Amino acid sequence: MPGVRMQDGGLGPVDPPADEVLKVRGGVGGISFQFEELLAGANALDGVVRMLDSVVLEADAVRRDLFVSELSTLTAGGPAIVTVGDGVRAASAIRDAIRATAEQVRASHREYEYTESWNAIATRVGLLHPPLLEATMLLGGAKPGTHHGDRDRVEHLVAQLPLIVGSLSLPTSVLAALSAALGGQTDVRAILRTIVEVPGLAYLKPRPVAVQKMETTEESVDLSLAALLRRTEDLHGEGKGEIAVIKVEPPGNKVAWVVLIPGTQKGEPTGGSNPIDEGGNVDSLGYDSAYLAPAIQEALREAGAEAGQQVAAVGHSQGGVHAMNLAANKAFLAEYDLKYVFTAGSPVGGVKPEPGISSLHLEHTQDMVPGLEGAPNADTKDRVTVTLENSVETPAGQDPGLGPGHRLEMYAEGAERVAASRDPSLVASAAVLSGVLGTRGRTAQVPAKVTRFKLTRQAMPGPPELRLPANRSEAGWR
């Protein structure tokens, strides 16, 4: 996404460093933040205009006084009057130019906001992306993740759910129920909460999660984003339902912690004990990680993290949603200083982090999953979204899963590209993470303690026990 700067004749775009794969939005190089900076500059220019107004008024008053003095004393004060008059005109010209610049900046900002608002409305009502056309392109027999733009198509379809529901030829009662579930707008959380109330799907409803400390090892850990993301793959082994907590003690830096959360793991058909299975998606997207967030908080305590210490969270797919939900969880943030969140292939557009938390979101144009929220990630100073636009395919002999665009290794390679990029938003984001982990100017490989935790979801409540009346024996019911 290009930035904006003053050029000859007005405002003009500033192209980011060339990269044929990465499309960067948000951060210090993003449109929104640069416009915030321009508006701040416009306000400062208003202060200069007000100051010059005072200078012009005072200088003009001096000129008038000199003119009166010249008439009353018949002295040779003409040159002074001319000089002061020239100064008044010059100050007025500068003031007017500064005022015009401030007005131009504000006008550009208004046009930007108008365009963004119009695009959002047009998308919602299907003018830019007709839902039937998008559905045909997405579901027209192609394998998941094989087409560029799948991510955007899913996002547009989810955003247009109310329009789609309203156009269906269904009984009025069914339409009313669907509209109530949607709440008149695209609300993935409301939809998921409605689904788990359907008879037979209650097993998807989140349940309390217990935490069990497994093992702690001391090892040399690569703290680059690519390496941390790859470590989440290790949590997909036999010990399903595991997360990892890494304690980092860099020389001269405060202790910091990294939480690693894997993506969705295959669970039991009717809901088992693994809270990161398919039902975990309901907890993450429908309930804001109401049960996994406290479990992560407990894992940090058991690993030795003290209140107020800095934390970074890394997750792939569902794990990224849980990680981002920590940035909006008041109980978690009251205990720990979450500074950085990194997600890969995660639908987190609906999460609104607390101020001051930096986040980096990696998505792929062939990955449908990040679009499931029906809303793009916010474009702010602290939030950067990188879309990978390279063409990818599933390696021969591997399970395609949700498509090649959602593969963890593909995202790890994307993270390596991000680390090598000189885009200002990515450089600033990397600086935040290195500041937390103490890797500034040094290799990312540092001694650390890695603790694995087993998370176990509470069992489903059993059917109510049949109790016989006190005055009847079991034999009497045969």
pLDDT tens digit sequence for 81-108: 778 778 878 888 888 888 888 787 777 7
- Please indicate whether residue 252 or residue 184 has the higher confidence score (pLDDT): 252
Assigned token pair, 157: 């379809």
Stretch (H or E) spanning 36: helix 31-73
| Centroid of chain to Cα 171 | 38
Q: How far apart are CA 257 and CA 245, in angstroms?
A: 7
Q: Can you tell me the mean pLDDT for 277-305? A: 95
d(CA 395, CA 381): 37
Query: What confidence score (pLDDT) does residue 159 get?
Result: 67
Q: DSSP alpha helices (H): ranges in 288-380? A: 292-303, 318-326, 330-335
Mean pLDDT of 357-374: 92
Could you tell me which residues come within 8 angstroms of residue 385 by beta carbon, excluding any fewer than 6 positions away?
A: 24, 25, 26, 360, 361, 363, 376, 377, 379
Residue 477's pLDDT band (cuts 50, 70, 90): very low
pLDDT on residue 2: 46
- Which pLDDT does position 184 carry in this prediction? 47
Report the C-alpha gap between 454 and 213 in whole angstroms. 6
Q: Among candidates 311, 219, 323, 216, which has minimal Cα distance to 256?
A: 311
Is residue 143 helix, strand or coil? coil
Output the 3-class SS for 239-271: CCCEEEEEEECCCCCCCEEEEEECCCCCCCCCC
Burial 427-455 (b: 16+ CB within 10 A, else e): ebbbebbbbbbbbeeeebebebbbbbbbb
Q: Is the pLDDT of residue 25 over 70?
A: yes
* Residue 396: partners with Cβ closer than 8 Å, 6 or more residues away: none
Per the structure block, which two tokens stand in for 61?
Answer: 């008053």
What is the pLDDT at residue 392?
86
- Counting residues of the chain whose pLDDT is more than 70, the rounded percentage is 72
Q: Which positions ≥6 away from 354 have C-beta within 8 Å?
A: 327, 328, 330, 333
pLDDT digits (tens, 9 = 90+) for 226-238: 999 999 988 876 5
Residues facing residue 310 across a β-bridge = 256, 337
Residue 380 burial (CB count, 10 A): 17
Whole-number Å distance between alpha carbons of 431 and 389: 24
Confidence (pLDDT) at 375: 82
**Using a CB cutoff of 8 Å and minimum separation of 24, what contacts does 348-352 make?**
348/320, 348/321, 348/324, 348/373, 348/377, 349/155, 349/373, 349/374, 349/375, 349/376, 349/377, 349/378, 350/188, 350/189, 350/374, 350/375, 351/288, 351/321, 351/324, 351/325, 351/327, 352/328, 352/378
CB atoms within 10 A of CB 409: 15
Three-class DSSP category at 314: strand
pLDDT of residue 212: 95
- Within 10 angstroms of residue 96's Cβ, the number of other Cβ atoms is 12
Rg, C-alpha atoms of the chain: 30
What was the pLDDT predicted at 89?
Answer: 85
Q: Average pLDDT for residues 53-69, to the nearest whole number?
A: 77
Burial of 337 (0-12, 13-18, 19+ CB in 10 A): middle
What angle, 0 to 180 degrees and rounded to 10, lies between the N-to-C axes of helices 225-234 and 408-420? 170
Task: Tell me the pLDDT band of 185, cut-offs 50, 70 and 90.
Answer: very low
Strands 310-316 and 337-344: parallel
Distance between CA atoms of residues 216 and 453, nearest Å: 9
Write the DSSP symbol of residue 72: H
Residue type, 146: T
> What is the arithmetic mean of pLDDT over 340-350?
95
CA–CA separation, 382 vs 364, rounded Å?
A: 20
What's the pLDDT band for 342 if we cut at 50, 70, 90? very high
Task: Give the closest residue to 189 by CA, choosing from 286, 271, 115, 263.
Answer: 286
29: left (phi over 0), alpha (psi -120 to 50) or beta: alpha
> Given a cut of 80, is residue 327 above it in pLDDT?
yes
Per CATH, is 208-393+403-457 categorized as 3.40.50?
yes
